[in-house]
Amino acid sequence: MNSTVNLLVGAAMGLNLVALGSSRIPTVIRAVALQGMILGTLPLLMETHFDWRVAGIALVTIAVKGLVIPNLLQRAMRAANIEREIEPFIGFIPSLLLGAAGTVAAVAGARALPLLPEHAGTLLVPGAMASVLTGFVLLVGRVKAIGQVCGYLILENGIYLFGLLLIKSTPLLVESGILLDLVVGVFVIGIIVDRIQRAFDSLDTRKLTVLRE
């Protein structure tokens, strides 16, 4: 069971690198969507026997992270008519290198934290840390608003991976609340992206420079 989980977490870590290295925004959105779907299946694999609440959470996660949010982003992208990230703050090769170094550091750093025996063999903690770092690089390094939102989603995916360590102990109420917040959050972000597009006639966040000291 652990080996399947590790394989999927490894795939999610690979998708981080795809998102970091790609200049085409549709590719980044697809990487985020696929990563979301992979994460959605993990709770099912980690349970030894079937639990309908866990199955429900998994289904909602797959639907939201894999379909609803990427759809919203694609619509925003088409409305703004942008396909490519041009001249990012952090170039694609440097961000890829940063991501790779971050992944190595995450695997090494995760050893410093003590784990329960049932989690000891999994890649969940390094996977979570690598995704959080990837999310940061995208948030800081991209200039298009949609690229930054993708970064935020990868950051959230990392946190979700970490949350899987707690899935047996925390009440699902908290997790569903968190998922709901995420949906609303992306919805709000979508509206703001739309307004920025109308007000500035562009989704280039480099134009957002009126407010400074």
- Which residues bind to other proteins, rule: CB under 8 A? 112-116, 128, 132, 135-136, 139, 145, 148, 152, 155-156, 158-159, 162-163, 165-166, 168-171, 173-174, 177-178, 181, 184-185, 188-189, 192, 195-196, 199-200, 205, 208, 210-211, 213
Residue with smaller CB distance to other proteins, 89 or 93? 89
Residue with smaller CB distance to other proteins, 97 or 115? 115
Residue with smaller CB distance to other proteins, 19 or 189? 189
Residue with smaller CB distance to other proteins, 104 or 174? 174
Helix, strand, coil percentages, rounded to 5, for the chain:
80, 0, 20
CB 162 within 8 A of CB 128: yes
The distance of closest approach from Cβ of residue 76 to other proteins in the complex, given in angstroms and rounded to an integer, is 13
The distance of closest approach from Cβ of residue 181 to other proteins in the complex, given in angstroms and rounded to an integer, is 5
Residue with smaller CB distance to other proteins, 7 or 188? 188
Token readout for 135 is: 């999310």
The helix-helix angle for 145-163 and 172-200 (nearest 10°) equals 170
Give the single-character DSSP code of 212.
-
The distance of closest approach from Cβ of residue 199 to other proteins in the complex, given in angstroms and rounded to an integer, is 4
Query: Read out DSSP for 120-186?
Result: TT-SHHHHHHHHHHHHHHHHHH--BHHHHHHHHHHHHHHHHHHHGGGTTTS-HHHHHHHHHHHHHHH
The distance of closest approach from Cβ of residue 139 to other proteins in the complex, given in angstroms and rounded to an integer, is 7
Residue with smaller CB distance to other proteins, 70 or 175? 175
Going from the C-alpha of 8 to that of each of 36, 157, 169, the distances in angstroms are 11, 13, 22
The distance of closest approach from Cβ of residue 135 to other proteins in the complex, given in angstroms and rounded to an integer, is 8
The one-letter code for the residue type at 8 is L
Distance CA 39, CA 52 (A): 17
The distance of closest approach from Cβ of residue 16 to other proteins in the complex, given in angstroms and rounded to an integer, is 16
CB 134 within 8 A of CB 19: yes
